[in-house]
Chain A
Amino acid sequence: MVDFAGWELPQQYRSVKDEQEAVRTAAGVFDVSHMGRYEVRGAAAGDFLQGVVTNDLGRLPPNRAQYNLLCRPDGGIVDDLVVYRGDPAWFVVVNAANREKDMSWLREHAPAGVEVVDRSDELGLLAVQGPRAEEQLPVADTDLAGLRYFGIAEATLAGARTMISRTGYTGEDGFELFVPAASLAATWDALLRAGVQPCGLAARDVCRLEAGLRLYGSDMDETTNPYEAGLGWTVKLGKGDFVGREALLRIKEVGPSRELVGLGCADRGIPRHGAVVRLGGRDIGVVTSGTYSFWLRRGIAMAFVEAGAAPLGGQVEVATRSGEAAAEVVPLPFYRGSARRAAVTQG
Chain B
Amino acid sequence: MAQRYYTETHEWVALDGSVATVGITDFAQAQLGDVVFLELPRVGKLLEAGDTFGVVESVKAASDLYSPVAGTVLEVNETLNANPEHVNEDPYGNGWLIRVELNGDLSQGLLDEAGYKAFSEGQSH
Interface residues of chain A, those whose CB is within 8 Å of chain B, are 11-12, 15-17, 202, 206, 268, 270, 272, 291-292, 294, 320-322
Contact = CB atoms under 8 A, between A and B. Distances in A.
Contacts of A320: 62
A270 B36 contact: yes
Q: Closest 3 CB pairs between A and B?
A: A321-B62, A292-B36, A16-B34
B55 interface: yes
B51 to A, nearest CB: 16
Interface in B47-81: 55, 57, 59-62
A272 B61 contact: yes
B93 interface: no
Given A15-B34, A270-B37, A321 B59 contact: no
Nearest to B54: A322
Which among B34, B37, B61, B88 has the greatest number of chain A C-beta atoms within 10 A?
Answer: B34
Contacts of B39: 322
Contacts of B60: 11, 202
A17 B85 contact: yes
B33 interface: yes
B55 A291 contact: no
A322 B34 contact: no
Contact of B59 (A202, A268, A322): A202
Interface residues of B, number: 13
A22 to B, nearest CB: 14
Contacts of B37: 268, 270, 292
A11 B32 CA distance: 10
A41 B62 CA distance: 47
B62 A206 contact: no
A140 B55 CA distance: 51
A202 B33 CA distance: 9
A292 B59 contact: yes
A12 B33 contact: yes
A291 B61 CA distance: 9
Contacts of B62: 270, 272, 320-322
A345 to B, nearest CB: 33
B34 A17 contact: yes
A292 B34 CA distance: 10
A271 to B, nearest CB: 11
A294 B110 CA distance: 35
Contacts of A206: 59
Nearest to B34: A16
A291 B34 CA distance: 11
Contacts of B57: 268, 270, 292, 321
Contact of A322 (B36, B55, B61, B88): B55
A260 B60 CA distance: 22
A320 to B, nearest CB: 7
A323 B36 CA distance: 17
Given A12-B34, A321-B57, 6 more contacts: A16-B59, A202-B59, A270-B36, A292-B37, A292-B57, A321-B55
Contact of B33 (A11, A321, A322): A11
A15 B55 contact: no
23 contacts: A11-B33, A11-B60, A12-B33, A15-B85, A16-B34, A16-B59, A17-B34, A202-B33, A202-B34, A206-B59, A268-B57, A270-B37, A270-B57, A270-B62, A272-B61, A272-B62, A292-B37, A292-B59, A294-B34, A294-B36, A321-B55, A321-B62, A322-B55
A206 B61 CA distance: 13
Nearest to A299: B36
A67 B43 CA distance: 54
